[in-house]
Amino acid sequence: MDKTIDCVVCGSCVVDILVRPVPLDTHIGVGEMIRTEPLMLTTGGMVSNAGIALAKLGMRATAFTYVGNDAWADVVRSRYEAAGLDTTYLRTHPEMPTSTTAVIIDDTGNRSFLHAVGAPKAIDKFFFLDNLDLFKRSRAMLLGYYPLLPNLLDDLPEVLAAIQATGCRTALDSAGGGGTMEPLTRCLPHLDYYVPSIAEAQQQTGESDPQQMIRRYRESGATQFVGIKLGTQGALLSPSSNKFLEIPAITPPGKVIDTTGAGDCFFGGLLAGILRGLPAEEAGRLAAAAGAYCVTGLGATTALQDFATTMHLASTS
């Protein structure tokens, strides 16, 4: 079957209401009023952040998740279509609402979240197994955030194996603090790409050194591409056993406004580079540049740029 899709992005899909600036280091008392900038409505979650990053970087990306039968779903569809992210496989759940988050951002760009999981929580193994033809037509898939999908967790290794069997490469991202090595240990043999944040990796592995984290994943069954996102320190990538690439962070081309979604945009940029055939180190720098652009706008995807612009920052920084 022809590979007409570059990447199917699955899992968390959220409407974000951004509130800024709000101090995060002091208690907000009952009845207090905090003056903010006008509220901003945008999309968030892995499907939105990495999916739009992929689309803006020239990839044929498709969203595959649940939204609710509500007005928030219209926001998701219109934002995706405007960004070039295909909504053909965006499913409407008949009972559960669209996932929503209030993102509380301080004046340095740090943030906290008030989150309602909503319809993506209903994703289970049949959501994938009944749609394997979609993955047969795709070069890769990215699923996030697996710890927040309770109806899928036990069956995730089976799902990843089935998707790999279609000839589609598999990528997974964590969230929610990272969880434990279960079911991750059973998933790793069926993953082509796994790149958690350092906080998630520390929670999962109990290690503090990024190289040791990657070695723990290798000991637990990872044979393909593994990495650790290090935030402002860049990333450590391991495209194969005993090979490590240090990817330095790229200085944002503007003031840091909001760090929401930077890790997702990094992952989207990394997959875009790999799918374009770039060497792992160049793909890592493209990913770092996507993350650098991300943090200069309010919301995860408002400041993202096209491939040529992002690659220019990657190659000149």
Q: pLDDT digits over 86-113, tens only?
A: 999 999 999 999 999 998 989 888 888 8
Q: Which amino acid is at 137?
A: R
Q: How many CB atoms lie within 10 A of CB 18?
A: 24
Indicate the pTM of the whole model. 0.93
Domains in the chain with CATH codes: 5-24+39-316 (3.40.1190.20)
Flag residues of the chain having pLDDT under 70. Answer: none
What is residue 317's predicted lDDT score, i.e. its pLDDT?
Answer: 84
**Ramachandran region, residue 220 (left: φ > 0; alpha: ψ -120 to 50; beta: rest):** alpha
The sign of the torsion formed by the CA atoms of 271, 175, 236, 258 equals positive
What is residue 113's predicted lDDT score, i.e. its pLDDT?
Answer: 87
What is residue 111's predicted lDDT score, i.e. its pLDDT?
Answer: 81
Residue 243, C-beta contacts closer than 8 angstroms, at least 6 positions apart: none
Q: Which amino acid is at 28?
A: I
What is residue 179's predicted lDDT score, i.e. its pLDDT?
Answer: 84
Q: At 65, which helix (H) or strand (E)?
A: strand 61-68
Which two structure tokens, joined as six digits, stand for 70?
């509500």
Q: Are 138 and 168 in contact (CB under 8 A)?
A: yes
By C-alpha distance, which of 17, 262, 9 is closest to 116? 17
Coil/strand/helix, residue 295 = coil
| Burial class for 87, CB neighbours closer than 10 Å (0-12, 13-18, 19+) | middle
pLDDT digits (tens, 9 = 90+) for 18-64: 898 999 998 888 999 999 999 999 999 999 999 999 999 999 999 99
Q: Are 168 and 136 in contact (CB under 8 A)?
A: yes
Q: At 225, which helix (H) or strand (E)?
A: strand 225-229
Q: How many CB atoms lie within 10 A of CB 150?
A: 13
Q: Are 124 and 152 in contact (CB under 8 A)?
A: yes
